[in-house]
Structure 1
């Protein structure tokens, strides 16, 4: 029994599912509809919207922490400077969607990490002004 449990615990990381670019794209399309006040017939619309918005918020929190820690050793990351106003959520979502529109479509079963998509989108859309 112990060997079975140990084997199961070792296999769990293989079952992990990361948030991918295609999933992010679908969720952010739902978020844009929500943020612009449009109606949707998709019963999972609010869940998808929340997942996109929460992911972008978490991404920005992680970036802020990394930038602050880098400052402690005398380095500025400045990969992008996102807008800080309250209405910025629409701009963040649209930046991701615009970036994805300019990219080739994701291949079937793509595992492109969502973090790579967001980093590319934000660095294009919100470059820092010196």
Structure 2
């Protein structure tokens, strides 16, 4: 199983108007709608919420959810040699989630913390 999201660019953003191709979409309380309210216009589902639901609703173990969001998609995209797991020589891309709520805590991109480094007592290489 590979867990994914089809989120639009407004995913994770606050309420407001956002472009979606040639359209303007209004996001309110995490729901993207056409401005006239006639239709849902796109998804704002982020991968941390996908992970949370996979574990709390879908019944996946933590290990299964991690594999489904990292190793499996990397393999299916032909990227398993460079990403998808934490191994020497691979890109150091990772996220840290709160162990109780699975909320996003920190993000590392190619070995550098880009969000939440202050949460860890580590030194990031220059």
TM-score (norm 1): 0.28
Q: Counting helix residues as a fraction of each chain, which structure ranks higher?
A: 1
TM-score (norm 2): 0.29
Which of 1 and 2 has higher RCO (CA within 8 Å, sep 6+)?
1
